[in-house]
Amino acid sequence: MSAGPLDGITVVELGGFIAGPFAGQLLGDYGARVIKIEPPAGDPMRRWGVLHEGRSLWWPAIARNKESVVLDLKSESDRALARSLVTSADVVLENFAPGRMAEWGLDYASVVADNPGLIMVHVSGFGQDGPRSHDRGFGSVAEAMGGLRALMGFPDRPPVRAGISLGDELAAMFAVIGTLAAINERHRTGRGQEVDVGLYESVFALTESLLPDWEIGGVTRGRAGSTLPGVAPSNVYRTHDGIEVLIAANADAIFQRLCRAMGRPDLATDERYATHEARGQHADELDRLVQQWTAGLSAAALEAVLDEHEIPRGRIYTPADIVTDEQYAARGMVTRLEAAGYPQPVPMPSVVPKFTGTPGSIRRPGPELGEHTERVRQEFATPE
């Protein structure tokens, strides 16, 4: 088993819920040693989401590859051990409200003299400064203020959310990107730095041309249901046997191939559909034509003809589809781990991305609360 591209990097993770822990999961996937400091009650993620006998079915994945150390940071002796960990680490990853680390004497300014190479990654709702920096900010709030929720759903209904915690997970990914960039900079200078990730900023960073569309183009983008305005045909279509298939044929060459697949080559030269702009203007009627065609085919027949004509497509997958899909299997994208307290191996997404030289790995599932406390105490205890 490869040690991973971050082998030799030690990360101390403080904080709970999703954004910080998911960043810690990713760093651990890439080979870092992740020491997770938990309060005596444990990370709330241990009891989050769907439970089996009181245990989160997410915990084995989001805490995989981590060591659990229980510390009461209200205790002077436990704060001393936490400081020893922080001053020995390469990276400290925290997602408390700004100012909390300073209350414990664990903020960057308090520890950098003892660890000049330390990279301290902050994940918070609104960042470390500004008028709302001390406000509580969950991923859902970030999705609202980052501009995402205004774009999600149908125009005649209130905004909707995705069925996952996008705001938190985007912030986690930017935290990992920032960590890797800071590690690279440390190779050049020998010095660490702070990395400041705001949840709402992480969402806003993905809004593409939202601002210039409004400020220069005079267009306020809004909710458009299952389509992207001006991009057609690119939608979900139902087959004769009730399967929903997404077909993305909006590029000119691909649309021409779709027309041949449909037995309607005339559509490719019809002025209503011949160009990308024209198709965007007539998206609704074009969708109706594609839907009429797919409704006459089984899903298997539709996929066969789309593949024959090299047209991008994919079924709307459920978990049952994922675990039986040949592409997922060929890429090893589902890992199952034995974990204490669970009746069977727990399935979870495998490591992304894949490295050819030093692949990441899932070495163990999320730990029991405090499983590594004594070992870490012995390793990092400050001599009397």
* Catalytic (active-site) positions: 168
Amino acid letter for position 285: E
Kind and range of the H or E run holding 67: strand 66-70
How big is the chain by its Cα radius of gyration, in Å?
Answer: 25
Question: How far apart, in whole angstroms, are the C-alpha atoms of residue 50 and residue 229?
Answer: 36
Question: How far apart, in whole angstroms, are the C-alpha atoms of residue 293 and residue 295?
Answer: 5
Pairing of strands 119-124, 313-315: unpaired
Residue 325's Cα: distance from chain center in Å? 22
Residue 347 backbone dihedrals phi, psi, to 5 degrees = -80, 145
**Long-range contacts of 95-103, Cβ-Cβ distance < 8 Å, separation of 24 or more:** 95/14, 95/15, 95/16, 95/17, 95/19, 95/20, 95/122, 95/123, 95/124, 96/14, 96/15, 96/124, 97/124, 97/134, 97/136, 98/122, 98/124, 98/127, 98/128, 98/129, 98/133, 98/134, 99/134, 101/14
